[in-house]
């Protein structure tokens, strides 16, 4: 069975059974579960955790070309497991897949890769940090400098990143609760990357500068069975403050929210369910479904009341695991830029 077939077996049947979005609400017997009061160990925790079922290294960037044109960029490496261990060679239960995308004001590009664990085709090493799938690589340390590259049939990019702030831990010291029933993940970010590089698009090469945000998360059952998808925001405000916030949509129409307010020096203030609000203001047809493209985001405790608008409403990742992912602008009580991910829209 090849890696793509394994991926489909892992996710699509569970998703069809509606056990949480993409099967992420299914039981995970034999796998480790996140526990409160985590103690992180770096650089080891930048690497893979095969005792957990699902994990990702997820980078997004807001970029600007020489003429002021805004761009967005995504690089993601996912690991999923059929069993909680690692074995060298073709008997490995680990499955790897990567997503890469570039968004312009009028075009969106996306592509994917699949790999089996145990063969050297994909993986993550630490000390020094190096993540890869095929020729796509993330090379460097999240606390320092990183070089990133990926390519698809009609785009490519190389990006140099420099950390200008500390790692940020979400929830209770990195223990991020996802539901009232207690599902959770381990979750931290590097939201302080300065970025510089080159996008190669059908019209030619474009030098770009901007900022980037890396998310690291792993779990075994991160969602509850009645959670159908999420809307996730990472916003970098012109004040130097940052906001990570998400809402998880539930089958009864309610939502579960969590957020982190990040000061310019990296001090993190976690916010409980209900302290962060994201309400859709406008939806348009995208890839045959109605997808919100403009939101009102509020955090009353921080006097934040903003409209978040997509750069390109058509930024649909039409891959084996489809979702919306693209850059956004922020206007209102605060201004800035950021990224939005939306899953589970049918």
Reported as a single tens digit per residue, the pLDDT across 48-100 is 999 998 999 999 999 999 999 999 999 999 999 887 767 776 778 899 999 99
DSSP SS3 for 256: strand
pTM across the whole model: 0.91
342 versus 223: the higher-pLDDT residue is 342
DSSP readout, 274-300?
A: TSSEEEEEEEEEETTEEEEEEEEEEEG
Average pLDDT over every residue of 183-202: 96
Count CB atoms within 10 A of the CB of residue 332: 13
User: Would you state the torsion angle of the CA atoms of residues 61, 257, 37, 339, taken in this order, to the nearest 10 degrees?
Assistant: 0
> Per-residue pLDDT averaged across 240-262, rounded?
94
Q: How far apart (Å, rounded) are the C-alpha atoms in residues 241 and 104?
A: 25
Please answer whether residues 301 and 275 qualify as being in contact, where contact means their C-beta atoms are separated by less than 8 angstroms.
yes
**Rounded mean pLDDT of the chain?**
90
- Determine the distance from the C-alpha atom of residue 181 to the mean position of all C-alpha atoms in its chain, rounded to a whole number: 23
Closest by CA to 67, choosing from 104, 32, 121, is 104
Question: For 20-45, what is each residue's pLDDT tens digit?
Answer: 444 444 556 578 899 999 999 999 99
The residues that bridge with 69 in the sheet, in sequence order, are none
The full set of domain ranges for the chain reads 18-25+48-342
Over range 223-231, report the average pLDDT: 78
Judge: domain 18-25+48-342, CATH 2.40.370.10: yes
In the structure encoding, which two tokens stand for residue 272, read together? 């409980």
pLDDT in tens, 138-147: 999 999 999 9
Average pLDDT over residues 162-189: 94
Q: What sign results for the dihedral spanned by CA atoms 343, 329, 108, 130?
A: negative
Split at pLDDT 50, 70, 90, the class of 259 is very high
Instruction: Give the pLDDT confidence score for residue 204 in this predicted structure.
Output: 97
- Joined together, the tokens standing for residue 320 give 């084996």
């Amino acid at each position: 069975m090849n890696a793509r077939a394994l991926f489909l077996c892992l996710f699509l049947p569970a998703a069809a059974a509606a056990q949480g979005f993409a099967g992420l609400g299914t039981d995970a017997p034999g796998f480790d579960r996140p526990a409160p009061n985590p103690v992180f160990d770096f650089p080891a925790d930048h690497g893979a955790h095969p005792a957990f079922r699902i994990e990702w290294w997820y980078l997004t960037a807001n970029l600007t070309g020489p003429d002021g044109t805004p761009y967005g960029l995504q690089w993601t490496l996912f690991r999923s497991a059929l069993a909680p261990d690692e074995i060298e060679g073709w008997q490995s239960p680990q499955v790897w897949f990567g997503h890469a995308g570039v968004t312009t004001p009028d075009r969106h590009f996306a592509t994917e890769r699949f790999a089996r664990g145990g063969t050297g085709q994909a993986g993550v090493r630490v000390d020094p940090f190096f993540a890869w799938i095929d020729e796509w690589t993330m090379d460097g340390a999240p606390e320092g400098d990183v070089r990133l590259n990926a390519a698809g049939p009609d785009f490519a990019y190389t990006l140099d990143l420099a950390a200008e702030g500390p790692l940020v831990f979400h929830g209770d010291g990195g223990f991020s609760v996802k539901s009232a029933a207690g599902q959770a993940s381990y979750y931290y970010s590097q939201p302080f990357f300065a970025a510089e590089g080159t996008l190669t698009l059908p019209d030619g090469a474009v030098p770009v500068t901007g900022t980037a945000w890396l998310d690291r998360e792993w779990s075994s059952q991160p969602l509850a069975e009645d959670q159908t998808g999420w809307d996730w925001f990472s916003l970098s405000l012109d004040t130097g403050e940052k906001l990570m916030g998400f809402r998880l949509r539930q089958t009864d129409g309610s939502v579960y929210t969590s957020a982190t307010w990040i000061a310019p020096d990296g001090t993190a203030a976690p916010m409980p369910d209900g302290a962060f609000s994201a309400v859709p203001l406008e939806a348009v047809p995208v890839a045959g479904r109605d997808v919100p493209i403009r939101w009102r985001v509020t955090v009353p405790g921080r006097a934040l009341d903003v409209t978040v608008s997509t750069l390109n409403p058509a930024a649909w990742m039409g891959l084996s695991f489809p979702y919306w992912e693209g850059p956004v602008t922020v206007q209102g009580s605060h201004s800035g830029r950021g990224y939005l991910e939306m899953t589970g829209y049918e």
